[in-house]
Amino acid sequence: MSRARWLAVPAVLLATWAYAQSAPPPPAPAGPHPFFAVHKVLTSPRCMNCHPQGDAPLQFDQSKPHAMGISRAIDDVGMSCATCHQVVQYDFPHAPPGAPNWHLPPEDMRMVFEGQTVQSLCEQLRDPAKNGGKTLDEVLHHVSHDPLVLWGWNPGPGRTTPPLSHDTFVGEMKRWVDMQGACPEDTRPFVPAPPMPIAAPAAETPAATDAPATDTPAADTPATDTPATDTPAAQP
């Protein structure tokens, strides 16, 4: 009996070793996993405000639902985002942000950034069924050249920019693409990026036991189900 137990120990060790050998080699990036930096940019207000959970775009660093009841449903009343959002960024405060083809991701391919953990956003971004049918290289191309992305670094007076420079962001994206889009295991809850300048990684915040710190405007994260239905039928 006790002999059998002794024999079981090496058997378990051997099985563990064999399992470890058969697992695919984990990618070994130099330094922290690049998607942590990527996540910080994607969930910063200039980007997240057009990648909301609900049907309304969001506004300001507090990511409030767009004023005037604007949502995906404005198409139904014969308007579009471009009714107000021009193709260029005007240089005065509170002008509607401008870039060519200002719009939200489509209803059936929402590309939600809001509320995503590092891991879940990573898995979404590498999945062609969820990223608009893009290969990893196409995702890299998108973030390098798309006018809506570039707008984030030229958002007009009074608006903060993402926490990394565009070059640094693209560099981290490239490192991630070079890793074949491997995702880090990180399921810590989503914490909206604090307004710029960003001092400490937001990801550090532990799974809150009680209410989040009061010193960030994060507390008024918009409800997930923003009213898509009571849209401005009255808009001209």
Question: Which of 34, 54, 152, 222 is in the footprint of ligand HEC by CB under 6 A?
Answer: 152
**Closest to 177 measured CA to CA, from 137, 130, 220, 232:** 137
Comparing CB distances to ligand HEC, the nearer of 210 and 230 is 230
Counting residues that bind ligand HEC (by CB under 6 A) gives: 40
**Considering the complex, what minimum distance in angstroms separates the CB of residue 174 from ligand HEC?**
13
Pair 117, 186: CB distance under 8 Å: yes
Residue 195: CB partners within 8 Å, gap ≥ 6? 45, 61, 160, 217
User: Residue 37, SS3?
Assistant: helix
Report CA torsion sign: 93, 96, 97, 99.
negative
Is residue 183 near ligand HEC by the rule CB under 6 A? no
Long-range CB contact pairs, 135-142, < 8 A, 24+: 136/176, 136/177, 136/180, 136/181, 137/177, 139/173, 139/177, 140/170, 140/173, 140/174, 140/177
Q: Which of 14/127 has CB closer to ligand HEC?
A: 127
Min dist. Cβ of residue 30 to ligand HEC (A): 23
Binding of ligand HEC at residue 69 (CB under 6 A)?
no
Binding residues among 205-234 for ligand HEC as defined by CB under 6 A: none
Q: Among 34, 39, 40, 41, which residue sits at the site for ligand HEC (rule: CB under 6 A)?
A: 41
Separation of alpha carbons 40 and 154, rounded Å: 18
Q: Given candidates 46, 65, 116, 202, which one binds ligand HEC under the rule CB under 6 A?
A: 46
Indicate which single residue of 34, 54, 57, 69 sits in contact with ligand HEC (rule: CB under 6 A).
57
Site for ligand HEC in 106-145 (CB under 6 A): 111, 125, 131-132, 139, 142-143
Which residues lie near ligand HEC (CB under 6 A)? 41-42, 45-47, 49-51, 57, 59-60, 66, 68, 70, 74, 79, 81, 83-85, 94, 96-97, 102-105, 111, 125, 131-132, 139, 142-143, 148-149, 151-152, 159, 162
